[in-house]
């Protein structure tokens, strides 16, 4: 998995730049799902 690759790059290979780049890519991949869930949650709360 990508998170395991990030961990290995950081702690086994001491390649901090690559680990940081992977972390940023993971963050950017997850942000749209977070935004979608927050919008759905707010819409459900507005109905209540």
Digit-coded pLDDT (tens) for 25-42: 999 999 999 999 999 999
pLDDT surpassing 80 at residue 48: no
Q: Give mean pLDDT, residues 12-37.
A: 98
pLDDT surpassing 90 at residue 47: no
Which has the closest alpha carbon to 8: 19, 23, 24, 20?
A: 19
How far, in Å, CA of 20 to CA of 18, rounded?
5
pTM over 0.75: yes
Q: Give mean pLDDT, residues 2-6.
A: 96
Binned at pLDDT 50, 70 and 90, residue 9 comes out as: very high
How far, in Å, CA of 24 to CA of 31, rounded?
11
Domain ranges of the chain: 2-47
Contact (Cβ atoms closer than 8 angstroms) between residue 26 and residue 16: no
């Amino acid at each position: 998995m990508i998170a395991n690759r990030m961990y290995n790059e950081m702690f086994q290979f001491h390649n901090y730049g690559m680990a940081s780049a992977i972390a940023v890519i993971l963050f950017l991949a997850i942000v749209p799902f977070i935004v979608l869930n927050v919008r759905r949650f707010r819409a459900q709360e507005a109905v209540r």
